[in-house]
Amino acid sequence: MSLIEIKDINISFSAKGKRKGKVNALVGMNLNIDEGEIIAVVGESGCGKTTLGKVITDIYKPTSGEVLFKGKNIRKLSKKEFEEYRLGVQMVHQDSYAALNPNKTIAQSLTLPLLRHKLAKNSTEALKILFEYFNEVGLNPPEMFLEKYPHQLSGGQRQRILLARALSVKPKLIVADEPVSMVDVSLRISLLNLMAKMNQKYRISFIYITHDLGTARYIAAHGKIMVMYLGRLIESNKIQEAISNPMHPYFKALVAAVPEADPSLRSEYAGKLPLRSLDMPDLLNLPSGCKFHPRCPYWKEQCVSEEPELREVNGGIVACHYAEEIKKKAEEKN
């Protein structure tokens, strides 16, 4: 049984302003998350990555479809089961400053959930738990950080505090939404290593949301990757296989855009895939058929009239009418 299962999730938002209509943030989304698994979710801004994370953590309620926790629809859980779900599925936000109350010290913010959920009997016990996890995430000595306010800490320190806060309630899954994008490059590897360590030590599953293929490949080295485009899952596979042999033209373009200093490690697609257009389609007036066809260098008439469905190819799944044909042409060129 999967820890979390997403079944046929659709979610739309009403457009604000002069133009009326609905923006489909997620369309027909399916996902299984097993215990101890790391899944990297990639795609450009506006593709629905964060919305997916917020549906998994029940911040957003889907328009249709189901979110299952240990095989049960979260809307039908008992009070005790729902509390287990809310504690078991935690989110680490991209903006570490906005995720912490600026008017409270770190100790005040982090002891509250421990007391609220009776994970600690009193403030002394709550602080003892926080000391343990602050040491775990490399915030030493803990007392130096607990009495400070968020604005007195660096971005890297705040991000570690968010991770310690998530860990303190002993979660089964952490949804990490671009957790290193606002952190200095020098600190990114240490945070990624920290998450990998938590995955190995506590068997915590991770949904790692990012637009950075480099960090996705690092954190999910033995996991899977999901590629999203305009609210749709368009490709998924084991991450090393997916990046070595991307099947969807959009994912080929993402791989080609990643700089690689070592020539021996460069993808065969590097710098070889000019798109027809760099512009994203109008979200209130999406193209017919395959939503990527206005930008795709391989498009054909079928792409304009018929939206491709996900199907199995080379051990993964892809939503492209001509995935095998494109792959064969690439192999012939090489």
Closest Cα partner for 48 from 200, 227, 171, 194? 227
The predicted structure's pLDDT at residue 210? 93
pLDDT of residue 187: 78
Looking at the structure, tell me whether residues 31 and 150 fall in a common domain. yes
Burial class (CB in 10 A: 0-12, 13-18, 19+), 20: exposed
Say whether both 275 and 149 belong to one domain.
no
pTM to 2 decimal places? 0.91
Reduced to 3 states (helix: H, G, I; strand: E, B; else coil), residue 4 is strand
Give the pLDDT of the chain (334 residues) as one tens digit per residue. 899 999 999 999 998 878 888 999 999 999 999 999 999 999 988 899 999 999 999 999 999 999 999 999 999 999 999 999 999 999 998 888 889 999 999 999 999 999 999 999 999 999 999 999 999 888 989 999 999 999 999 888 998 999 999 999 999 999 999 988 877 777 788 889 989 999 999 999 999 999 889 899 999 999 999 999 999 999 999 999 999 889 999 999 888 877 665 555 555 555 556 778 778 888 889 999 999 999 998 999 999 999 999 999 988 999 999 998 877 776 766 6
Indicate if 183 and 164 belong to the same structural domain. yes
Report d(CA 135, CA 130) in Å as an integer. 8
What confidence score (pLDDT) does residue 73 get? 97
Question: 253 and 240: one domain?
Answer: no
Residue 132 and residue 32 in one domain: yes
Residues 302 and 279 sit within 8 Å (Cβ to Cβ): no
Instruction: Please give the pLDDT value at position 280.
Output: 82
Domain count, the chain: 2
Same domain, 235 and 117: yes
- Cβ neighbors of 249 (< 8 A, separation 6 or more) are 273, 292, 296, 297, 298, 320, 326
Residue 47: CATH number of its domain:
3.40.50.300
- Residue that is last in its domain, among 226, 244, 262: 244
d(CA 128, CA 180): 27
Together in a domain, 45 and 182: yes
Indicate if 251 and 320 belong to the same structural domain.
Answer: yes
Domain range holding 112? 4-244
pLDDT of residue 188: 84
Query: Which two structure tokens, joined as six digits, stand for 219?
Result: 């954190």
H/E run at residue 6: strand 4-14
Peptide bond into 141 cis (omega under 30): yes
Question: How many other CB atoms sit within 10 Å of the CB of residue 296?
Answer: 23
Q: Is the domain of 73 the same as that of 30?
A: yes
> 185 and 283 share a domain?
no
Q: Is residue 133 within 8 Å of 168, Cβ to Cβ?
A: yes
d(Cα 258, Cα 266) in Å, to the nearest integer? Answer: 9
The pLDDT score that the predictor gives to residue 328 is 79
Of 244, 273, 297, which residue is a domain's last? 244
Same domain, 311 and 235: no
Q: Rounded distance, CA 334 to CA 323, Å?
A: 17
Q: Give the closest residue to 84 by CA, choosing from 70, 66, 98.
A: 70
pLDDT for residue 271: 53
Q: Which of 187, 219, 244 is the last residue of a domain?
A: 244
DSSP string, 118-165: TSSSSHHHHHHHHHHHHHHTT--STHHHHTS-GGGS-HHHHHHHHHHH
| Residue 100 to residue 95: CA distance in whole angstroms | 9
Do 213 and 266 sit in the same domain of this protein?
no
